[in-house]
Amino acid sequence: MSSILITSILVLSLLGLTLAVVLYLTAQKFKIIEDPRIEQVEAVLPGANCGGCGYPGCHGFAEAFVKADDITSFFCPVGGNVTMANAAKVIGKTAETKDPMVAVVRCSGSPEHRKRIAEYEGAPSCKLATALYSGDTACQYGCLGLGDCVAVCQFDAIYIDPVTLLPVVNEDKCTGCGACVKACPKSIIELRKKGPKGKRIYVSCINKDKGGPARKACDVACIGCGKCVKVCPHEAITLENNLAYIDYNKCKLCRKCVEECPTGAILEINFPLRKQKVEGQIESTETL
């Protein structure tokens, strides 16, 4: 009885030992030597694997980052400048600082401003609805509110407002990875410069129709009147296909266009409230 036990234990131990040696030798023979800096770079990255940088996850980014000679084209939108500086330090280079970006939803067509003319009752996906219809309002460019952007956001930074039925970006959480920009089949969401203290100005509309039909479809549509283009002292606004666009690199946040816009399509974010103009009162004392 005990001899059977001893034999089996011996045989199995011997077998285990032999295989261990074989495995060790194979592992040594086929060892992949990875640049240790790749792991170090990956360690400083946020690890969200969101793909916002254009590479398949953080490891992919780290690998390309370490191998590249010129690192100016690399940017981790989630980690921002701090992460990039740390990552560049690992490989002994310095990263250029970039302005932080944030996703903006360029549609203000809440039910109050944009009448519903039809009802969609298919599967709740913007992509799907776009393939079938222009949408449930007369504006074929506007937001459908079915939440494809919400579904792709990995940072819980976007939600559909139950009253306006439009996506709202939580700018503290938004990392500017651009996943929602890619997900939106109507190309409504854009990445824009966050601006100093979060102050930014943008045209919250992408309607390319002529003034009449655009206004008819939505009260707060850009009607392409061009008033903002004329008033802008910095030549930051262009008008193309009946739609104004503000170049965020040229915009100096003077807010003149916001005042001029007849439909209120231009939005100002995070600015202090304006002083109410009182009739008869002199606006500014400087001119006196």
Partner 1 sequence: MLKTFAKGGVHPPENKLSANRPIETLPLPARVSIPVSQHIGAPATILVAKGDKVKVGQLIAQSAGFVSANIHSSVSGTVESVDVVLDSSGYKRPAITIVVEGDEWDSSIDRTPDIKTEINLSAQEIIKKITDAGIVGMGGATFPSHVKLSVPTGKKADVLIINGVECEPYLTSDHRLMLEKGHELMVGIQMLMRALNVDRAMIGVENNKPDAIKYLTEISSSYKGISVHALKVKYPQGGEKQLIKALINREVPSGGLPIDVGAVVHNVGTAFAVYEAVQKNKPLFERVVTVTGKNLAKPSNFLVRIGTPVSELISAAGGIPTDTAKVVNGGPMMGKAVVDVNVPVTKGTSGVIVFPATESKRKTESVCIRCAKCVSVCPMGLEPYLLTRMSQRMMFENMEHERVLDCIECGSCSFTCPANLPLLDYIRLGKSEVNKIVRARKN
Binding interface with partner 1 (CB under 8 A): 117-118, 121-123, 125, 127-128, 131-135, 140, 209, 213
Q: Which is nearer to partner 1, 140 or 238 (CB)?
A: 140
- In the numeric block, the tokens 């009449």 are attached to 212
Q: How far is the CB of 162 from partner 1 (least distance, A)?
A: 21
| DSSP per residue, 82-135 | HHHHHHHHHTT--PPP---EEEEE-----TTTS-B-S---S-S-HHHHHHH-S-
Q: How far is the CB of 259 from partner 1 (least distance, A)?
A: 31
Q: How far is the CB of 206 from partner 1 (least distance, A)?
A: 14
Q: Which is nearer to partner 1, 121 or 240 (CB)?
A: 121
Please give the distance of CA 92 from its chain centroid, rounded to a whole number: 29
Q: How far is the CB of 141 from partner 1 (least distance, A)?
A: 10
Count the Cβ atoms, other than its own, within 10 Å of residue 267: 19
Q: Please, are residues 222 and 212 in contact by the beta-carbon 8 Å criterion?
A: no
Q: Distance between CA 231 and CA 220 in Å, rounded? A: 19
Q: Which is nearer to partner 1, 144 or 261 (CB)?
A: 144
* Listed residue (56, 104, 65) closest to 83, CA to CA: 65
Q: Which is nearer to partner 1, 14 or 123 (CB)?
A: 123
Q: Which is nearer to partner 1, 81 or 125 (CB)?
A: 125
Q: How far is the CB of 127 from partner 1 (least distance, A)?
A: 6
